[in-house]
């Protein structure tokens, strides 16, 4: 027999006093800046405002905190990119907007703060299967998004039909990820629209 559709009342014991997502946002900040290995539980307790015991109540271990933070980081970032793409009208403009968003993300303090996808790819993709799977998924998702925009542009004639959407998208992904690398070193392009103009030549 299936259980009756129980009203989702409060769960059993003492209720959690903090918001999980807010705590994860603070963890994201630390992981972005320091990476996984350089971040201690002490760093997390300080940033999240929780005692170590409480962190281990909410998460199995440090790695699980990281994976949850990574998932949330990718979720928020995908929403941002989707919003940026939605704001523009033509496919070509959407591509411009997305590329511009990546360049802006690589500049200044935001750029120095780093990207959790790039950081995880470099630091953990070799050592941690689950992280690797998430990175692969994120990269192929973003690549598919760009390829799709390219195809839309080819459909509305704003992008030449002769270029290969998949190959071009793959090269563009390299560009976006590389932006985060140079941004981490404080060497992102100073002039966003000039950089985007150059990057858009890949669509010629």
Residues that bind its own copies (CB under 8 A): 33-35, 37-38, 112, 114, 118-119, 121-123, 125-127, 132, 135-136, 139-140, 163-164, 167-168, 170-171, 173-182, 184-187, 189, 191, 194-195, 198-199, 201-202, 204
The partner in contact with residue 58, picked from DNA, its own copies, none with C-beta cut-offs of 5 to 8 angstroms by kind, is DNA
Judge contact between 165 and 147, C-beta under 8 A. yes
Q: What would the two tokens of residue 98 be?
A: 């997305």
Nearer to its own copies, 88 or 132 (CB): 132
* Residue 39 CB-half CA count within 13 A: 25
Q: Which does 193 bind (CB under 5 to 8 A by kind): its own copies, DNA, none?
A: none
62 binds, among DNA, its own copies, none (CB under 5 to 8 A by kind): DNA
Q: How far is the CB of 49 from its own copies (least distance, A)?
A: 22
Give whichever of 68 and 199 is closer to its own copies, judged by the CB atom. Answer: 199
| Residue 177 contact among DNA, its own copies, none, beta carbon within 5 to 8 Å by kind | its own copies
Is the CB of 50 or the CB of 149 nearer to DNA?
Answer: 50
Name the residues that contact DNA, by CB under 7 A: 9-18, 39-42, 50-54, 56-58, 61-63
- Shortest Cβ 201–its own copies spacing (Å): 5
From DNA, its own copies, none, interface partner of 154 (C-beta below 5 to 8 A by class): none
Is there a contact between 24 and 2 (Cβ–Cβ < 8 Å)?
no
Q: How far is CA 134 from CA 116, 117, 129, in A?
A: 11, 9, 9
Tell me how far, at minimum, the Cβ of 24 lies from DNA, in Å: 13
CB of 185 to its own copies, least distance (A): 5
């Amino acid at each position: 027999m299936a259980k009756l559709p129980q009203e989702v009342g409060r769960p059993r014991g003492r209720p959690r006093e903090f918001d999980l997502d807010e705590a994860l946002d603070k963890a994201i900040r630390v992981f972005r800046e320091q990476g996984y290995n350089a971040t201690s539980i002490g760093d997390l307790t300080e940033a999240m405002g929780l005692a170590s015991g409480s962190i281990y109540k909410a998460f199995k271990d440090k790695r699980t905190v990281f994976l949850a933070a990574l998932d949330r980081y990718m979720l928020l970032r995908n929403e941002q990119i989707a919003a940026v793409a939605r704001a523009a009208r033509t496919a070509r403009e959407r591509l411009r907007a997305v590329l511009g968003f990546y360049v802006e993300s690589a500049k200044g303090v935001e750029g120095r703060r780093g990207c959790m996808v790039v950081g995880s790819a470099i630091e953990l993709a070799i050592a941690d299967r689950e992280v690797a799977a998430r990175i692969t998924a994120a990269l192929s998702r973003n690549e598919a998004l760009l390829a799709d925009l390219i195809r839309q542009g080819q459909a509305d004639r704003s992008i030449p039909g002769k270029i290969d959407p998949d190959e071009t998208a793959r090269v563009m992904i390299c560009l976006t990820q590389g932006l985060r690398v140079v941004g981490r070193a404080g060497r992102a392009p100073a002039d966003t629209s000039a950089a985007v103009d150059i990057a858009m030549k890949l669509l010629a």
